[in-house]
Amino acid sequence: MTKGMNILAATCAFVGMACAALAQDLHSNLPKPILASEFPEADIDLIVLGWDLFFDPILSGNRNIACATCHHPSLGTSDGMSLSIGEGGYGLGPARRPVAGNMPKARIPRNAPALYNLGAAEFTVMFHDGRVEKDANAPFGIKMPDGLALERPMPSVLAAQTILPILSADEMAGHGDENPISIAVAAENHRGPDGAWQQLADRVATIPAYRQRFTKVNGRDAPLHITDIGRALAAFIAYEFRATDSAFDRFLSGNTRALDPLQKQGMSLFYGKANCATCHAGPFQTDHSFHAIGLPQFGPGKAHSDNPAHDLGRGGLTDHGADSYRFRTPSLRNIAYTAPYGHDGAFQTLEAILRHHLDPIGMIGTYDRSQASLHDLDSAKDWAILDSPEDVIEIAAGVEIEPVALSETEISALIAFLNALSDVENAKGRLKVPSALPSNLPLDPVPDTPKRP
């Protein structure tokens, strides 16, 4: 063998070993397949009970909004808008319109998050700022917002989370003296025998079909409590919106052909050069923590400072400066169905939110406001933060992720991999939408409603 051939052989061997090492390193970074044991055992009676309640406006103060209104299966378990309008609106998602004579007081300040896989055991933090979370030192082991501690045990943080939107004036309760629930909420009378929670439970109990089914589920004819409703809603969400059969899941389970070459390239980038898995880690692509990535802010805000349009995210909850502008890392499962993206839905496409991640400081100053999907309301203050150079600089100063340089081909590969995280069969749920409700209240207007199986 010539000297040149020896060098060539040695080079090929080195490259081969390097590629093998790279493949082994990638394999070590990949999550393990998701097991059925990650999810709660199904109780079909409780699930079907929660199914009806999820779509039933009976849980809103004015009996006109359901949980499904902002988390509809036809819209990726969200509503397709950057910021929703709740009370005072009619219809779903982009088709939702203000009701004459009962105009919404404000937009909901944050994007309606998707519900996929929230029933899995590892999801112990809820909401964009984590204001509901597992905490051994809190009553019944679940930390709730101030003044809203649980009255009885709940099986999960998901169950605890479900009983909060019904107390929001803008989301479901209504305003002022519109109804008994809104009156109680306005007076901050949430807990106890005459609080808003118990009033809603009593209202549900007056409907014979609900009363009888809760008696069967609970095994006793005890007065209905809001925790019973939360348990049912959580059981339904955990069952209905489980999304664990994507092409990526099949790849993790040993089917190497489940991903095409471009998706595999994107997977290598996701778990390698692009640093996505630094935060989007684990089987559901989330570390369940909080990070500041410099997302542009708009809408009514959360009044976390003298400027009511401010939203400090986790920092508004903890009052720690280091937490300013940090928001919970979302799961990426079924992300192809859950646009727009970000805590305020700032980006309409996967490409747009991905490019922001690659250069957050550079992108916030050039944000294209047409990316925001907003209903037509008289909201002159929507852009107060982005119109303030000082506020934009403050958001940019908090960014904690480093820029990453990717080619256009690599960006396309990453997007291809993100699309491979979709469970196509279960994207719209398993039971879909019920044909009618025990309350006889109208369902949100959605075509092609299937009958109950």
Checking DSSP bridges between strand 327-328 and strand 290-291, what pairing results, if any?
antiparallel
**134: β partners:** 142
The pLDDT tens digits for 278-294 are 999 999 999 999 999 99
Say what angle helices 261-270 and 408-419 make with each other, to 10 degrees: 100
3-state secondary structure of 133: strand
Per-residue CA distances from 28 to 272, 315, 329 (Å): 11, 34, 22
3-state secondary structure of 141: helix
Quote the tokens at residue 352: 């747009």
Residue 398: what residue type?
G
Give the DSSP H/E element, type plus range, for residue 44.
helix 44-55
- Provide the total of helices (H) and of strands (E) in the chain, helices listed first: 15, 7
Say what angle helices 208-218 and 196-205 make with each other, to 10 degrees: 100
- 89 φ, ψ (degrees, to nearest 5): -120, 165
Cα separation of 443 and 66, whole Å?
A: 8
Cα separation of 88 and 254, whole Å?
A: 50
Determine whether 374 is exposed, middle or buried from the number of CB atoms within 10 Å of its CB (0-12, 13-18, 19+): middle
Cα separation of 125 and 146, whole Å?
A: 16
- pLDDT at residue 305, as a whole number: 81
- 74 φ, ψ (degrees, to nearest 5): -75, -10
Check if the beta carbon of residue 295 is closer than 8 Å to that of residue 396: no
Which residues in the chain come in under a pLDDT of 70? 1-28, 378, 447-453
Check if the beta carbon of residue 325 is closer than 8 Å to that of residue 294: yes
Supply the pTM of this predicted model. Answer: 0.92
- pLDDT at residue 99, as a whole number: 85
What is the set of domains in the chain, with CATH numbers? 44-78+113-240 (1.10.760.10), 247-419 (1.10.760.10)
Checking DSSP bridges between strand 89-90 and strand 97-98, what pairing results, if any?
antiparallel
Quote the tokens at residue 372: 């925001």
Q: Which of 238, 36, 14, 30 is nearest to 119 (CA)?
A: 238
Cα separation of 268 and 23, whole Å?
A: 9
**125: β partners:** 133
H-assigned helices in 106-207: 157-161, 180-186, 196-205
